[in-house]
Structure formats: C-alpha cells, structure tokens
C-alpha cells in the first residue's frame, strides 16, 4: 500500500479559504465586481485578468505547500477542488446566493469559475 495521498490537505484548506473569501466578496460587492452583462468586451476583460492571477496564485501556493514538483498537478487539483465542488451550487442557486448581482450574470460567473480553475492548473503545469 502506498503512502501517496492524492489530496494535499493544506491546499484544500487554502482553496476553501480562497473560495469563501471570493464568495463573500461577491455577496457583498458583486454588483461592482460582476456587473450585468457588459457585452463581450467586459466579460473578456474579467477573464483576461482572472486567468493569469489564478495561474500565479496557484503556482506560488503549490510551490509553497508541495516541494515535490511531480506532485504539484495533484496539489493544484487540491487547491481548485473547493471551487469545483461548491460553485456548481452557487451557480444553480445564483439569485439566492448573490442577490445583489443581476441573474443574467450567472453564466459569466459559472464560466469565470471554470476559467479560474483552468488558470490554476495551467499555472502549475507551465514550465516557463
């Protein structure tokens, strides 16, 4: 039996803290952070900022909490796991979870969460 564990528990905790902070920020000021559909330009601007931010954050967190480079992709999954498990519910119940954000922004929110998780994974896998 191997002692290898798929999940990096400290990164799951960090991922949950990030998810909670982001959810609270959207709950309190989401109408400013995720405005009603501002067209393609506004959505692309939000996505363009989020991807490199999450890539850098995940890369730094995984380097800090997982010294073994070969295990960093699994560490990135650990970091993204709270978002992947919890935000489908935030999306499904979007008007209740984020009453201050226009319901039409639910699709952008869901896409943004996937985009952030992709940024985290790419940030850890990138060999630059």
Structurally, the chain folds into a number of domains equal to 1
26 phi, psi to nearest 5 deg: -70, -35
Tell whether 18 is covered by a domain: no
Residue 106 structural domain: 43-128
Of 76, 55, 54, 80, which Cα lies nearest the Cα of 65? 76
Tell whether 124 is covered by a domain: yes
Of 84, 88, 80, 86, which Cα lies nearest the Cα of 123? 80
pLDDT reported for residue 36? 66
Tell whether pTM > 0.85. yes
Q: 């985290």: which residue's tokens?
A: 120
pLDDT digits (tens, 9 = 90+) for 20-29: 999 999 999 9
pLDDT digits (tens, 9 = 90+) for 66-109: 999 999 999 999 999 999 999 999 999 999 999 999 998 999 99
Q: 């790419």: which residue's tokens?
A: 122
């Amino acid at each position: 039996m191997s002692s290898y564990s798929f999940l990096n528990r400290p990164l799951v905790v960090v991922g949950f803290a990030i998810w909670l902070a982001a959810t609270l920020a959207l709950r309190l000021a989401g109408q400013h952070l995720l405005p009603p559909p501002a067209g393609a330009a506004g959505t692309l601007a939000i996505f363009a900022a989020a991807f490199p931010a999450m890539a850098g954050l995940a890369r730094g967190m995984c380097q800090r909490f997982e010294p073994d480079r070969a295990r960093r992709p699994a560490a990135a999954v650990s970091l993204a796991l709270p978002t992947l498990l919890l935000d489908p519910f935030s999306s499904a119940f979007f008007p209740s979870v984020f009453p201050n954000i226009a319901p039409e922004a639910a699709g952008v929110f869901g896409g943004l969460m996937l985009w952030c998780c992709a940024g985290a994974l790419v940030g850890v896998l990138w060999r630059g």
